[in-house]
């Protein structure tokens, strides 16, 4: 049985922390005693999240665009100045998609990859030397069940989430002997604003909720499952309903059957 760790007085940096999964993860990490670094673009929303955390004064907010490398470097300097270290880095910020491949512009393709892949790679590479110097720490990537399966209307999103999963696997192999751990989380449908912000083919937010998202897992339930799994040092964490978990299982046992099923279902 794996030994359970705890987050008392640990520093946890979470991107995309102003709402949704990031907000819920921040709340659960704080409940476990962590000092949370909340990062997103909207300072006002971050402050609201900080005030919702247990013992708000222990936590800090950093307003930054994760796709801007200069802002990310400055954020890292601020974290070191205020906290001196990072114990967990949770790469959570993401951007989804709701468009057919034929309708998706290359600008939109690149925008999704920039947020869901390149920005996470850059932030991780920025913090990695600190982890290697410390000889401990955990880097967490929030991928998606879509990154394991691939479905209609989510091609670019699925590709980006699959790419960060594979990059994380390589990172884990490279740094495991140096005390740095790497985990990947694969959410299924969770009830957040992700579908409101998902890009259409022209790169505009969809602006409405998907039925599957509306009926998905509550963010607090998701966060509790994820934090508990991370505290038990899990590296591959699938969180979703029965359909998503069945899809992941089928992708391993019979990809041919899975894709026959996917072609027949309505996923938008």
Q: Which residues are catalytic?
A: 157
Q: Give, to the nearest 10 degrees, the angle between helix 43-52 and helix 20-31.
A: 30
Nearest to 150 by CA among 66, 243, 248, 34: 248
SS (H, E, C) 131-166: HHHHCCEEEEEECCCHHHHCCCCCHHHHHHHHHHHH
Contacts of 106 (CB under 8 A, 6+ apart): none
Query: Taken in order 161, 96, 144, 251, is the CA torsion positive or negative?
Result: negative
Contacts 24+ apart (CB under 8 A), 171-174: 171/124, 171/139, 172/235
Tokens of residue 126, six digits: 């920025």
């Amino acid at each position: 049985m794996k030994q359970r760790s705890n987050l008392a007085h640990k520093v946890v940096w979470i991107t995309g922390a102003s709402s949704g999964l990031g907000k819920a993860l921040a709340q659960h990490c704080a409940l476990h005693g962590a000092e949370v670094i909340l990062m997103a673009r909207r300072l006002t929303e971050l402050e609201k999240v900080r005030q919702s955390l247990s013992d708000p004064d222990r936590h800090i907010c950093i307003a930054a665009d994760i796709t801007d490398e200069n802002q990310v470097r400055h954020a890292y300097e601020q974290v070191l100045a205020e906290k001196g270290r990072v114990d967990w880095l949770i790469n959570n910020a993401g951007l989804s998609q709701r468009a057919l491949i034929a309708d998706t512009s290359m600008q939109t393709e690149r925008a999704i990859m920039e947020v869901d892949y390149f920005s996470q790679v850059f932030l991780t590479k920025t913090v990695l030397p600190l982890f290697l110097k410390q000889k401990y720490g955990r880097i967490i990537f929030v991928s998606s069940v879509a990154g394991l399966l691939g479905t209609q209307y989510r091609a670019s999103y699925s590709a980006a989430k699959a790419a960060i999963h594979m990059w994380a696997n390589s990172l884990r192999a490279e740094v495991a002997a140096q005390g740095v751990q790497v985990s990947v989380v694969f959410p299924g449908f969770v009830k957040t604003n992700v579908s409101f912000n998902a890009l259409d083919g022209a790169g505009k937010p969809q602006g409405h909720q998907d039925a599957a998202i509306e009926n998905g897992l509550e963010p607090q339930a998701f966060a509790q499952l994820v934090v508990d799994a991370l505290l038990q040092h899990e590296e591959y964490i699938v969180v979703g309903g029965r359909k998503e978990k069945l899809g992941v299982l089928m992708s391993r046992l019979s990809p041919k059957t899975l894709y026959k099923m996917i072609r027949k279902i309505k996923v938008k």
